[in-house]
Amino acid sequence: MDLTIEAEGLRKSYGTHTALAGVDLAVPAGTVLGLLGPNGAGKTTMVRILSTLLTPDGGSARVCGYDVVRKPREVRRRVGLTGQYAAVDELLTGRENLVLIGVLHHLGRRAARTRADELLERFQLTDAAERAARTYSGGMRRRLDLAASLVADPPVLVLDEPTTGLDVTNRRTLWAMVREQVAKGTTVLLTTQYLEEADHLAGRILVLDGGKVIAEGTSDELKRKVGDEHLQIRVREAAQRAAAVAALTAVTTHRPVLDDDGVSLRLPMGDGLTGLAAAAAALAAARVDVESFASCAPTLDDVFLNLTGRSSAEQSEAAA
């Protein structure tokens, strides 16, 4: 397998705070790896090391075969970075921002202009090309930032929380643009706090917590770790829950799990549609007044809760 990004035992501390405590990763060419974790998990440190902005204290990393510490210039030629803050020059226009990056990549002024126009078109910024980036909305800025990291058409794209702070529409637009880039064969390393984002974009996910990898796999593999699909049932009155449990126990070998709210219960679902139908029929026969009845796949939030004992929101608070 051809690995575009590889790292072994990366370590980094700031004073007494350990940001990375030995992280390995491997990203095959043309794939997307998502680094998922709360604030303070070490995601940004990882990104800064792989894009040569930071030197690790220990371990090693290579991008396209070049060591990030010994051959930073070669790595920089091949990595497009979109940082956590939209790093665009606010006083320059959208076009000027992209032309500047192009000239700095030694494309030559003429080719830099052509490339800028292509990217402005592709990222739906042509109408705003002559306006100062200061006047751009949050979504436009991120698009300009992403365009800036693609000026030299790098084989590797590193995205640090690319959609943090964006609304749903802008987030989806950006996702589509990232997927388009992946379709062209670009290898992507992406950090995110949004489980949905990792689920959506990344083929493989690395869950980071406290500078360590606590889980790794595809989105489905991670979900499977937490368990299969389950039935989420909510009765209208607390008194009816016991009846529901009795009815369900008669048709399945699984034990229902009672929630704290007194009216909800969860039933692991092993038998697919048949089990679903049997459960529904049993509840109807017992005349249980069911408020909601849904089949739920575990979310990555469940994964987080399961792996760390805390939800991703609690993790963020603890780190802040």
Binding residues vs other proteins (CB under 8 A):
14, 51-55, 73-74, 76-77, 79, 81, 83-92, 96, 100-101, 103-106, 132, 148-149
* CA distance linking residue 190 with residue 171, whole number of Å: 14
Phi first, then psi, for residue 127 (nearest 5°) are -65, -25
Least separation in angstroms between CB 95 and other proteins = 12
89/196 with CB nearer other proteins: 89
* CA distance linking residue 114 with residue 196, whole number of Å: 36
21/87 with CB nearer other proteins: 87
Least separation in angstroms between CB 249 and other proteins = 57
132/278 with CB nearer other proteins: 132
Least separation in angstroms between CB 51 and other proteins = 5
Structural contact between residues 30 and 187, judged by C-beta atoms closer than 8 angstroms = yes
56/275 with CB nearer other proteins: 56
- Chain centre distance of CA 11: 22
Greatest Cα pair distance in the chain: 77
81/222 with CB nearer other proteins: 81
Least separation in angstroms between CB 132 and other proteins = 7
68/226 with CB nearer other proteins: 68
- Chain centre distance of CA 160: 9
Q: How many CA atoms lie within 13 A of 73 on its CB side?
A: 1
* CA distance linking residue 146 with residue 210, whole number of Å: 28
Burial of 52 (0-12, 13-18, 19+ CB in 10 A): buried
158/251 with CB nearer other proteins: 158
* CA distance linking residue 244 with residue 246, whole number of Å: 5
Least separation in angstroms between CB 54 and other proteins = 6
* CA distance linking residue 42 with residue 319, whole number of Å: 11
Q: What is the DSSP letter of 175?
A: H
Least separation in angstroms between CB 225 and other proteins = 35
Least separation in angstroms between CB 160 and other proteins = 10
